[in-house]
Chain A
Amino acid sequence: DAGVIQSPRHEVTEMGQEVTLRCKPISGHNSLFWYRQTMMRGLELLIYFNNNVPIDDSGMPEDRFSAKMPNASFSTLKIQPSEPRDSAVYFCASTLGSSSYNEQFFGPGTRLTVL
């Protein structure tokens, strides 16, 4: 059974370029979460969706960041324009249902480096 799939696994880009990270949640899961992990700030929730609808985007750092979930099996996190301080590992996670009891299943992450 496939877990959460993220692509690309690694991304190196130059400052000012647009970056798009992709996530495919586990089939049947209807909640999806985007996290950012850095040494300085640890693991931060950026945004989460329930049934494809953004529920809480208070963790999105600024307008350069945007996320979409056009259908139940796909989500994107876009950074435009990218900056060196965006360098981090970005994780996607999904759960079955939206209650607080549900375990989140994490993807392998995308390591983003902005030069």
Chain B
Amino acid sequence: AQSVSQHNHHVILSEAASLELGCNYSYGGTVNLFWYVQYPGQHLQLLLKYFSGDPLVKGIKGFEAEFIKSKFSFNLRKPSVQWSDTAEYFCAVNSFSSNTGKLIFGQGTTLQVKP
């Protein structure tokens, strides 16, 4: 069965620090990969997605993620975080071959940015 693992459950950074959140998935076939963000009190929003092509994808608000197929990883990065990036971040995957919208989410990582 597919699964998604996010290694960091709670990350605390100071403003301007660099961010990297880990995401690994288990599935042998072709996958589509997503990062969603949930700001306090709000619903989930899409940050970025990878389907094919350049493995380095850029999303909104200065976020980017790199797909490394050999490592089954899709880590999220941002060079310099802001207080407003405080939120919960979810990595998600679905199977290209299933051709459905069914997403499998990781447990989420809570990011707290100190001003």
Contact surface of A with B, Cβ cutoff 8 Å: 4, 31, 33, 35, 42-45, 48, 50, 55-56, 91, 93, 95, 97-104, 106-109
Contact = CB atoms under 8 A, between A and B. Distances in A.
Given A42-B106, A95-B101, A101-B32, A106 B96 contact: no
Given A42-B107, A95-B101, A103-B46, 8 more contacts: A42-B90, A44-B105, A48-B102, A50-B100, A56-B102, A99-B99, A99-B100, A107-B43
A55 B100 CA distance: 9
Contacts of A42: 90, 105-108
Contacts of A35: 105
Contacts of A43: 90, 105, 108
Contacts of A45: 102-105
A48 B101 contact: yes
Majority SS at the chain A contact face: strand
Interface of B: 32, 34, 36, 42-46, 49, 51, 90, 94-96, 98-108
A56 B94 CA distance: 14
Contacts of B34: 103
A3 to B, nearest CB: 8
B105 to A, nearest CB: 4
B42 A99 contact: no
24 contacts: A4-B43, A35-B105, A42-B108, A44-B105, A45-B102, A45-B103, A45-B105, A48-B100, A55-B100, A56-B100, A91-B43, A91-B44, A97-B101, A98-B100, A98-B101, A100-B94, A100-B101, A101-B32, A101-B51, A102-B101, A106-B36, A106-B43, A106-B44, A106-B45
A22 B19 CA distance: 37
Contact of B43 (A50, A101, A109): A109
